[in-house]
Copies of this chain bind each other. A is one copy, B any other.
Amino acid sequence: MLNKAKEQSEASVLPRGEAGSRYAFGTPILVLDLDILERNIGVMAETMKRFGRALRPHAKSHKCSKIAMMQLQAGAIGICCATLDEAQIMQRAGVTSLLITSPVTTDFQIARLIDLTRRAADTMIVVDASENIEAIANAARAAGVSVNILIDIELGFGRTGVAGPAEALMLARLARRLDGVLFCGVQAYGGQLQHTADYEERARVTAEAGLFISSILNHLSQNGFETPIVSGGGTGTHAFDGSSGPFTEIQAGSYPLMDADYERIEYRPGQQWPFDVSLFVQTSVISRNVLGTVTVDAGTKALALNGARPRLTTPSLASSAYEFSGDEHGRIKLAKGVEQPRLGARLELVTSHCDPTVAQYGFYHCVRGDVLVDIWPIDARGRTTE
């Protein structure tokens, strides 16, 4: 059944590099505008340099080692990963100085963490429980390595992290006592802070979280624990984090890509975000049998549901609305007086929420203007343990 020559000839007719080739592929695809991506990466690097903060961007958003390498080349000191899968793929691709931002607790995962540390001694993991520190220390000693740990601090979302200064100090003391782990500082991340839409309110909750983190840092310091690394912050709060937060390094993830959710968040009163949207889902009109709507081939398997409504980029459809219409389909509800797009028309959407949308795709279709210039694997989307 397989015919290698045939497949290769198919591949070679793909019009990469030609004018209009952005619109010459099967849909749905994930389109990445490299001009905008590069600009976003540069702007954040410059911003953090100006603030005198380190940047350790989060790869959970883009899941792509090529983008992580671009971030390192722009001056990032390392990369954050949400999972061991991401970290393992990043490490194999040559990405350095990885921080895993969620605890790992099973024997299987701790063994993988040890292996990552053996291959790159600067790997870091967050912890929030004494039994977890003990388990990691035991495994590390048995393997003859030392694992760098950050104590995770909870910022009111109730997900992971210790509740306050006393718990943080208790864990730091335990870590100091045990061979096999090295206390390097703290992590504090509040996902809910990033997505607070109102500027004044976001400023207020971010400042409040900063004071709380500082109280923990002071308590640790007063008890003889310096915290060389204070990792946290994100795209939504990066200007506060950089200018006045307690952080030594910022974990922003969404800024290279951006999405419709960030579009509804106020950057500063009357000001645009310094990052533009570089990420789009391209879809095709596959049915126009119902007046006032068309159906496109992008549904919940192509666009994450959790976030703002996907936004159509076609100017004439600006006031028309995308609605989910099942796993494989979306419905464009046309604004009054708007003509139905033709069958096969290509539309592009700003995604609801970049992170879980990216996780649905195997590839970025990379463009400059209307030209497809490359196709990048979303390599850290895969699982390395099968």
Contact = CB atoms under 8 A, between A and B. Distances in A.
Interface stretch (A35-43, A104-112, A217-225, A226-234): A104-112
A187 interface: no
A1 B105 contact: no
Interface stretch (A242-250, A309-317, A327-335): A327-335
A366 to B, nearest CB: 11
Interface stretch (A158-166, A172-180, A205-213): A158-166
B60 A327 contact: yes
A329 B160 contact: yes
Contact of A161 (B1, B289, B355): B289
A10 B160 contact: no
A151 to B, nearest CB: 11
Interface in A9-60: 10, 14, 24-27, 29, 60
Nearest to A94: B1
Contacts of A128: 287, 289
B328 A60 contact: yes
Nearest to A83: B328
Given A160-B295, A287-B103, A359 B360 contact: yes
Interface of A: 1-2, 10, 14, 24-27, 29, 60, 82-85, 91-92, 94, 102-109, 112, 115, 119, 128-129, 131-132, 135, 154, 157-163, 167, 191, 284-290, 293, 295, 297, 300-301, 304-306, 324-329, 331, 343-344, 346, 353, 355-356, 359-363, 365, 375, 382-383, 385-386
